[in-house]
Chains A and B, each alone.
Chain A
Amino acid sequence: MSTPTAVRVWENHLLRYRKIWGSHLLGAFVQPVLYLVGMGLGVGALVDRSTDSIVLLDGITYFEFLAPALLATTAMMSGGQTSLWEVADGFIWSHRYVAMASTPLRPREIADGLALWHTTRIALAVTAVAGVLALFDETRTWGLLVAIPAAVLTGLAFALPISAWSSTRKNGSSFPAVIRFALIPMFLFGGAFFPIDQLPEWLQPVAYVTPLWHGIELCRGAVIPSVDAGPVAVHVAVLLAYAVVGLLACRATFAKALRP
Chain B
Amino acid sequence: MSDAVIIASDLRKQFDNFVAVDGIDFEVRPGESFGFLGPNGAGKTSTMRMIGCVSPITSGSLTVFGLDPNVDGSEIRSRMGVVPQSDQLDPELTVAENLLIYGRYFDISRSECRRRTVELLDFVQLSDRANDQVDPLSGGMKRRLTIARSLINEPELLLLDEPTTGLDPQARHVLWDRLYRLKQRGVTLVLTTHYMDEAEQLCDRLVVMDEGRIAAEGSPRNLIDRYSTREVLELRFAIGENDANAATLEGIGERCELLPDRILIYDDDGEEALGEVHRRGVDPVASLVRRSSLEDVFLRLTGRALVD
Contact status A99-B93, CB under 8 Å: no
A 87-103 binary contact with B (CB < 8 Å = 1; else 0): 00000001110111111
* Surface stretch bound by A, among B97-105, B191-199, B211-219, B278-286: B97-105
B 68-105 binary contact with A (CB < 8 Å = 1; else 0): 00000111011000101010111111000100011011
Question: Taking CB as reference atom, which chain A residue is nearest B76?
Answer: A104
Contact for A103 among B86, B91, B102, CB less than 8 A: B102
Contact status A101-B54, CB under 8 Å: yes
Interface size class of A (residues with CB under 8 A): 20 to 34
Contact for B104 among A11, A99, A102, CB less than 8 A: A11
A12: interface (CB < 8 Å): yes
Contact status A96-B90, CB under 8 Å: yes
Contact status A104-B75, CB under 8 Å: yes
How many inter-chain residue pairs (CB < 8 Å) link A and B?
Answer: 64
Q: Give Cα A96–Cα B105 distance, bound, in whole angstroms.
A: 12
Contact for A102 among B84, B89, B90, B91, CB less than 8 A: B84
| Those of B172-200 within 8 Å (CB) of chain A | none
Query: Which of chain A's residues have a CB closer than 8 A to the CB of B75?
Result: 104
Contact for B77 among A16, A94, A104, CB less than 8 A: A104
Q: How many residues of B contact A (CB 8 A)?
A: 27
Contact status A95-B55, CB under 8 Å: no
Q: Give Cα A3–Cα B104 distance, bound, in whole angstroms.
A: 9
Query: Which of chain A's residues have a CB closer than 8 A to the CB of B56?
Result: 259
Contact status B54-A11, CB under 8 Å: no
| Those of A3-21 within 8 Å (CB) of chain B | 3, 8-9, 11-12, 15-16, 19
CB distance from B134 to the nearest CB of A (A): 10
CB distance from A257 to the nearest CB of B (A): 11
CB distance from B145 to the nearest CB of A (A): 12
Query: What residues make up the interface of B, taking CB atoms closer than 8 Å to A?
Result: 15, 52, 54-56, 73-75, 77-78, 82, 84, 86, 88-93, 97, 101-102, 104-107, 153
